[in-house]
């Protein structure tokens, strides 16, 4: 076979199989070496890629951490300066309680409109300090807020945590914005109550107009809130506050079981009660739940002291054109500080409210639709949420219930105006009436408050 080896090259020899049918050992070894080399190269390249990605991510994380630390440090400096200012100025306020105003901003430079109105209507820097909290780092808005900080003494802080809050299946419902709002509220209120140690705060958002007597309204009602444990907040807003649904009396005030938001005042005591269990999203619906409200009411105005101009936001203009755009903003300065507001205390208000609603003229929905309301005050009854919705649709008022409470309702009763007539929408049966009448014997000697001038 020597001549075969001399004539045939090694590659040809290796194309032959052994007598047992196996591949030539030489070609097998070469394939193994090639596969091993390929695997090593692939592993090396993959490691380089992941190492590079890891380095990039590490650099990004380090930059983010540095940015967050810088902003936290800046926030702390601002908060410490405000706290020191509070300590040195507290002796010169004539015993009046300081009410902080917290403006929650994000990425709308139109917040300028709200801030300019605060400057115009705020009676005192000392009694109404302003803290503007921004969620995120929208550069144009940040620059604007720093300008107001410099020129008008507003405190400017930034919520530093910008991590995504919705992942996986929750992300498809497009509710990230609602999670961010809830997180921002909790963080900002924590700074105001726990770091700055304010005892009361008015909460505003960056798309609200305010009335000329906005600060007078809240300052005058804070003692009412503190003096009545059956109240938990003061609201500036009437959800059914369109011109054709309200009285012309700008000094008219009501109790309501419905929490409106859109400009409201709360105390440190309420924050200490609910702040530690603040929800991850939809904070306003959460605060309306029985576990938070605990049968307590708010005070609201007949004529709103705030009005939203933010058609586009997290809710993407939901209900704006139909329900929010035409709400009337009060234009008359009412000196609430000269008025006796004790009629809003529950033990006085409830009996008088029961009296005036019970004595109102009863009409049906059919009569209402035919324009048959003639006497004031009037009432129409509803048996359930569906029946209420039919009445609300005809009147073009908000028909939704939150935690079983219609908007603006007190003890289930919604109060509006209809062509100059005070109209009550009353649940049937009216459980509040039965309970209060059963307790009347304990209140028989107390003079009944007359609410007729208010209605």
Question: Which residues are designated catalytic?
Answer: 284
CB of 381 closer than 8 Å to CB of 222:
no
* Of the candidates 292, 305, 411, the residue with the CA atom closest to the CA atom of residue 349: 411
Q: Estimate to the nearest angstrom the gap between the alpha carbon of 216 and the chain centroid.
A: 23
- Rounded Cα distance between 155 and 334, Å, is 29
- Rounded Cα distance between 341 and 251, Å, is 10
CB of 433 closer than 8 Å to CB of 410:
no
- Rounded Cα distance between 232 and 368, Å, is 35
CB of 109 closer than 8 Å to CB of 141:
yes
E runs forming strands in 270-364: 297-301, 306-308, 361-362
- Rounded Cα distance between 247 and 235, Å, is 18
CB of 128 closer than 8 Å to CB of 159:
no
Neighbours of 69 (CB within 10 A): 11
Neighbours of 5 (CB within 10 A): 10
Torsion over CA: 267, 270, 275, 280 (sign): negative
Please report, for residues 229, 351, 356, the alpha-carbon distance to residue 437 in angstroms, rounded to integers and kept in the order given: 22, 9, 14
- Rounded Cα distance between 390 and 368, Å, is 12
């Amino acid at each position: 076979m020597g001549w075969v080896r001399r004539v045939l090259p090694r590659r040809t020899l290796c194309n032959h199989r052994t007598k047992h049918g196996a591949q030539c050992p030489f070609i097998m070894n070469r394939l193994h070496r090639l596969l091993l080399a390929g695997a090593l190269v692939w592993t090396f390249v993959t490691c380089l890629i992941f190492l590079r990605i890891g380095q990039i991510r590490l650099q990004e994380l380090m930059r983010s951490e540095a940015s967050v630390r810088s902003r936290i440090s800046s926030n702390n400096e601002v908060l410490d300066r405000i706290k020191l200012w509070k300590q040195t100025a507290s002796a010169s306020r004539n015993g009046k309680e300081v009410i902080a105003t917290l403006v929650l901003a994000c990425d709308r430079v139109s917040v300028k409109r709200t801030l300019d109105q605060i400057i115009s209507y705020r009676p005192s820097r000392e009694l109404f300090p302003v803290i503007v909290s921004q969620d995120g780092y929208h550069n144009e808005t940040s620059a604007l807020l720093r300008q107001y900080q410099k020129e008008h003494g507003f405190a400017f802080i930034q919520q530093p945590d910008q991590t995504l809050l919705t992942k996986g299946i929750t992300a498809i419902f497009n509710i990230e914005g609602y999670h961010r709002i809830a997180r921002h509220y909790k963080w900002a209120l924590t700074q105001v109550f726990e770091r700055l140690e304010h005892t009361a705060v008015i909460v505003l958002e960056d798309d609200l107009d305010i009335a000329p007597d906005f600060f007078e309204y809240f300052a005058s009602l804070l003692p009412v809130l503190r003096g009545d444990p059956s109240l938990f907040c003061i609201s500036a807003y009437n959800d059914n506050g369109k011109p054709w649904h309200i009285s012309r009396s700008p000094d008219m005030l009501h109790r309501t079981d419905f929490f409106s938001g859109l400009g409201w005042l709360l105390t440190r005591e309420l924050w200490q009660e609910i702040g530690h269990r603040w929800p991850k999203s939809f904070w306003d619906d959460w605060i309306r739940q029985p576990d938070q409200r605990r049968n307590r009411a708010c005070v609201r105005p007949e004529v709103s002291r705030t009005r939203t101009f933010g058609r586009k936001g997290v809710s993407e203009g939901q209900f704006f054109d139909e329900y929010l755009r035409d709400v009337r903003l009060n234009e008359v300065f009412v000196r609430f500080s000269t008025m006796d507001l004790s009629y809003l205390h529950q033990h006085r208000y409830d009996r008088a409210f029961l009296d005036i609603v019970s004595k109102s003229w009863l009409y049906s929905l059919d009569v209402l639709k035919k324009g048959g309301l003639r006497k004031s005050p009037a009432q129409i009854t509803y048996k359930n949420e569906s029946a209420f919705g039919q009445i609300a649709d005809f009147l073009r008022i908000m028909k939704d219930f939150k935690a079983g409470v219609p908007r603006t309702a007190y003890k289930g009763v919604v109060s509006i105006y209809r062509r100059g007539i005070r109209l009550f929408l009353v649940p049937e049966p009216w459980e509040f009436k039965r309970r209060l009448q059963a307790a009347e014997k304990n209140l028989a000697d107390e003079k009944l408050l007359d609410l007729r001038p208010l209605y």
